[in-house]
Amino acid sequence: MATVVTLVIGDSVTTGLLGKYGLEEQEVGLTRWACGAEPSMVCSFVTRGIIFVAAFAVYAAIVWTEVGLQFQLVAVTVLTLPLILAVGGFAATVLNGYAIISAARRGVSAGTH
């Protein structure tokens, strides 16, 4: 649940708001490639949804089939995948939020850059 809230919702919303404050998405990555420098809210949600579904598919396939779980490295990696995505989504949300707040303090308001 934390992964959905932080990665899919938090990161998508804050990434979708970057362009409204004259900010750009990072220069490399899936969102920049798929959506451009100033991604729309819809495109942000779609790219996060792709990441979430791909990660969940790997997680579910390995956990449900138990293939590879006998190896400690594989088991630990797979079982911590939701936590890793949640922490990454939280960090991205915080960084994007900080950038938006900083831009707003500098006087760049939504839609007037």
Give residue 97's pLDDT.
93
Report which DSSP code applies to 21.
G
Rounded Cα distance, 99 and 1, in Å: 25
Residue with tokens 């900010």: 23
Give the CA-trace dihedral at 107, 20, 34, 59, to 10 degrees.
90
Output the CA–CA distances (angstroms, integers) from residue 20 to 46, 59, 60, 71, in the order listed: 19, 35, 37, 47
pLDDT digits (tens, 9 = 90+) for 36-81: 888 888 998 998 889 889 989 988 888 888 877 788 887 888 888 8
Do 100 and 21 contact (CB within 8 A), yes or no? yes
State the pLDDT confidence band at 110, using cuts at 50, 70 and 90. low
Residue 93 buriedness (CB in 10 A; 0-12 / 13-18 / 19+)? buried
